[in-house]
Copies of this chain bind each other. A is one copy, B any other.
Amino acid sequence: MQEIKPWGQLREHLQTDSISVIKAYLDQLTAEDIVSIVSHLSEQERLRLLSVLTAEDAAELLEDLPWVQAMELIKEMDSKEAAAIIVEFPSDEQADFLGEMSEKGAEAIMQEMPEEEADAIRELIQYEEDSAGGLMVTEFLSFEEDATVGSVVKDLQSNAEKYEKYNLQYIYVTHKDQFSGVLNMRTLLLSKPDVLLSDIVLRSARTVQYNDTLYDLIKFFDTYDFYGVPVVDDRLQLKGVVLRKDLREAQTDQVHLEHLETQGIVGGEELRTMSVWLRARRRLSWLSVNILLNIAAASIIAFYQDTLSAVIALAVFLPIISDMSGCSGNQAVAVSLRELSLGVVRPFEVARVWMQEVSVGLLNGLVLGTLIGTAAWLWKGNIYLGLVVGGALSINTVVAVSLGGTIPLVLKRMNVDPALASGPILTTVTDMFGFFLALTFAGMMLEYL
């Protein structure tokens, strides 16, 4: 008895059935199932699936998928189809997708959109991705101060469909196109129809600037319990609204990307639905730098070949020293990256972090050195071998831990991405120094080994 896998079922539906059957099949799946099933289809099948759905349903499906996967699919569609789907996204996501494409590809898609919408996206694309401008949506309601409550309520009622996807917690009030304040829905509904907005608007409302960073915004939403905050430019013109939920998403994505970078996944997120060539090439870009650094580090060993051939047992311990120093150092790197992101430590505090890590390095170096030294001593019955190996690891652990703690701070000050560069720099330096220590000590004690 062979069970038909859910992606097999969808595949069959795609080949034979009508749109309504496919839609009905998708509707009974959870978002979680859809993500898993779509990942099993080939690119052709995924594109076929999107083309049979209405633009609205296709947009909904794409929003369930991981961002890079949705992006890949949009790149493969013809511009007309892509435009119809992208129009269905919230404005911040429209800009995210088109901003990530080649200028030519994005322009081709925007040509197929309503003029007004395309212009709005062209403006949004210019903002930095993780700034208030890049994170804001432009779906918000604003009215001039001299409007009456009655006219606003009427507008809300007659445009109910258009506003359906808007965030309707607040209404923004402007005066001659400049932001003047916020009105919450409750106040509006409880006011008499002939009251002017200027009489009930809350003028002390907070705003953020379009170039405020993700970090600024996180602090803002930590401080104030709002669902969204209006974004203004230098001339106080209202540009959009940053919603709390979009912000948290951006933050989680950033943490994930940082994590992937420390593990050598560069150039953005990698999913296995991407082509093998692309994945291999992106990974290789990081690996090839690493192998050069590794060769440089190992060249230290080449200088000491005579020592090594005299004490061949050392060759067993060199990879251990290299790996353990890397482990100890990377622990300190991880703590520093975390402390930097929490704001507990600042880039200029190199000396403070260095001193704190030296203590940890000394303690752990002592323990690890003793362990490895004892192992070496017991294995060869030669206490000097233990001293050489254990001594080298002990000292190198102090170096690795204190360097690991401080490298991210120094890189941050130099405006180099610490998540990406800390690991390779750390392991190269500690490899070199570790090999140097072990082989120099061995050279000094050669007659006893």
Contacts and interface: CB of A to CB of B under 8 A. Distances in A.
Nearest to A333: B263
Contacts of A189: 186, 189-190
B280 A298 contact: no
Contacts of A259: 255, 258-259, 262, 334, 338
A32 B219 contact: yes
Interface in A234-292: 244-245, 248-249, 251-252, 255-256, 258-260, 262-265, 269-273, 276-277, 279-280, 283-284, 286-288, 290-291
A430 to B, nearest CB: 11
A264 B312 CA distance: 31
Contact of A294 (B320, B333, B334, B339): B320
A334 B265 contact: yes
A339 B40 CA distance: 13
Interface stretch (A136-144, A172-180, A200-208, A323-331): A323-331
A371 interface: yes
Contacts of A343: 32, 35-36
Contact of A185 (B186, B255, B260, B435): B186
A372 B295 contact: yes
Contacts of A335: 260, 265, 270-272
Contacts of A263: 262, 330-331, 333-334
| Centre residue among A244, A251, A256 by max chain B CB count within 10 A | A256
A156 interface: no
Interface stretch (A14-22, A43-51, A127-135, A352-360): A352-360
Number of this chain's copies in the assembly equals 2
A101 interface: no
A440 interface: no
A427 interface: yes
A355 to B, nearest CB: 10
Nearest to A294: B320
Contact of A379 (B32, B286, B302, B359): B302
B427 A331 contact: no
| Centre residue among A227, A270, A294, A302 by max chain B CB count within 10 A | A294
Given A35-B343, A255-B259, A331-B265, A298 B276 contact: no
A431 interface: yes
A209 interface: no
Nearest to A344: B39
A284 B312 CA distance: 29
Nearest to A252: B252
A269 B36 CA distance: 31
A315 B320 contact: no
Contacts of A331: 263-265, 283, 286-287
A149 interface: no
Contacts of A222: 31, 64
A5 to B, nearest CB: 10
A308 interface: yes
A415 interface: no
A287 B319 contact: no
Interface string A79-113: 00000000000000000000000000000000000
A317 B270 CA distance: 30
| 4 residue pairs, one from A and one from B, having the closest CB atoms | A248-B248, A263-B334, A280-B363, A315-B315
